[in-house]
A and B are shown apart, each in its own frame.
Chain A
């Protein structure tokens, strides 16, 4: 059984301007101990997808439909009280900006032990011990001292380590990490990613890594899901997606990477902008920006076509005969 199975997830927001369709029928699954990357530009719906997995979207104005099975149980059908027992214990989430993610008026110790004692039956002393070992686990020096500090006394990297520590303090089996390194310096970014990889090895925790940075996903993820316009447009093992993208959008996204300069068919940027979620284009939502656009792309929405084992793409070119998206002449280099 998969650890997490997301089936036809749809998220909409009612605003005064109209209905915003942020996520439009997303399907994917996560296996135990696996790191998958949810990649896309900002506005592609990846953060909303992540937030809705733990129902962290306020309803109303938001509305989550579909099903999210965690170990076979649908999280969307659970009551808030039951959900709160899963949040932080089985499934945890960490966010983009560690600077604002910790409560400024409580000490680090108070914030860690609060979560531990909430989910595990421990005495205050045991909880404190546990907090110390967690801080050690995430590689922080002087854990005893850190317990008594307030968030504003620590650096961004340290705070992110602490948040990861809290998230994993109750042996969570799934960690949802929403852009965990974006707000950090490049050197710190690498350290945090390394930490995530180490923790996966040691705690066998599965990670959903949400990022706009294909490079980050390439370094860490086993599998990649590429999102665009609130849908998944391509999935597959990281290496396969990177070396052989099967959707024009993925191709364009890779073209944005600096190390692709030697590619003959080089795309510096993808022309156009992410679609307006209030008014998604008909047909394939990428068609206004797509260089391979055909007539039917403007009218019909391509579904995800299987290409190989765990390899899918939502492009009509793939359906036609499984041939490469990129014309062989271009790709041959």
Chain B
């Protein structure tokens, strides 16, 4: 188990290095003069030259890369050309918000999608099954940025129930500010018992979480359904029936424990989607997360920021898949043997 984990982590580092190489060279070779972005369009040539030296852009590319990686490891991720702040500080500030959004959406999706998929597998070819199939395919097909706008039309324009966007109301932020402990606002609000802030945070979270959950709910329902159908066709299910085990227990314990493995893989893959989907959801709901930071960075060609975000996204993507693999081997005794 430990050996397996170690090998996977080594592989993960390798992939990260590969990605950084690609992104780094893409960002340095193709664009015209990153330095001119730094100094602005009205700068004099001397200022440009100075900026080049300051940013290390006068060196040959491999040297730049090695230097960049060295800095990266030492915790210096470069300075954002747009915000003029160190990239790692920016990322640390925005990342917790994104993670909270993603964790909330994925938890909701798992809680809804997995049991629903198991249920409709049981009701194969009945009305509920067809309905859930249409629903889950619709969830996978809907553009998140459009769904977000629909929610705004419904909840804000028509019903007037929820705030249009943002993370916390200005008034709440001033009247009952959240003491920063972990950097995760929801967690901090809970720890400090700040109920009015918590309520406000949750109100702001409803639409972003629902929007981001549409795709994963559809995905999990569909995947759980198909793996459950496969599992329910197995001999041991028939054996359990012949021993008088009740249908509900067969579905939700005997079969679901077998079906959870493949579903976990999909959950891991969906995490990647959620990271990316968060970009769009955050932009629409002005959620102060890494997605907004990334999109602004991309639009203003802020390469240190783009590179930093990419590495973080890739890191989490690979990390989650590693965790999923380890979880799977814990759930299925057969994997340990291999």
- A interface, CB within 8 angstroms of B: 54, 56, 80-81, 83-89, 92-95, 97, 100-106, 114-115, 118-119, 150, 152, 163, 166-167
Contacts and interface: CB of A to CB of B under 8 A. Distances in A.
Given A89-B244, A106-B254, 16 more contacts: A54-B242, A81-B246, A83-B244, A84-B246, A87-B241, A92-B242, A93-B242, A95-B235, A95-B239, A100-B236, A103-B254, A104-B258, A114-B245, A119-B244, A150-B333, A167-B242
Contacts of B247: 80
Q: Is the interface of B mostly helix, strand, loop or mixed?
A: helix
Given A103-B236, A152-B334, A86 B254 contact: no
The 6 A-B residue pairs with the shortest CB-CB distance in the complex, in nearest-first order = A88-B243, A87-B244, A88-B244, A93-B242, A100-B235, A150-B333
A101 B235 contact: yes
Interface of B: 234-236, 238-247, 254, 257-258, 331-334, 337
Contacts of A94: 239, 242
Contacts of B258: 103-105
B254 to A, nearest CB: 6
A167 B234 CA distance: 18
B263 to A, nearest CB: 13
A183 B133 CA distance: 38
Contacts of A101: 235-236, 238-239
A88 B242 contact: yes
A107 to B, nearest CB: 8
A90 to B, nearest CB: 9
A105 B243 contact: no
28 contacts: A54-B242, A56-B242, A80-B247, A85-B244, A86-B244, A87-B244, A88-B244, A88-B245, A100-B236, A101-B235, A101-B236, A101-B239, A102-B236, A102-B239, A103-B240, A103-B257, A104-B236, A104-B258, A104-B332, A105-B257, A105-B331, A105-B333, A115-B244, A118-B244, A119-B244, A152-B333, A152-B337, A163-B239
B235 A92 contact: no
Contacts of A83: 244
A83 B337 CA distance: 38
Nearest to B239: A101
A84 B120 CA distance: 22
A252 to B, nearest CB: 31
Nearest to B243: A88
Given A95-B235, A97-B235, A100-B235, A105 B242 contact: no
B237 to A, nearest CB: 8
A105 B240 CA distance: 13
A166 B243 contact: yes
Contact of A56 (B238, B257, B332, B334): B238
Contacts of B245: 84, 88, 114-115, 118
A163 B240 CA distance: 10
A44 B63 CA distance: 77
A253 B236 CA distance: 32
A328 B165 CA distance: 97
Nearest to A84: B244
B118 to A, nearest CB: 15
- Among B240, B245, B254, residue most surrounded by chain A Cβ atoms (within 10 Å): B240
A127 B12 CA distance: 47
A166 B240 CA distance: 10
A108 to B, nearest CB: 11
Contacts of A81: 246
B245 to A, nearest CB: 7
Nearest to A83: B244
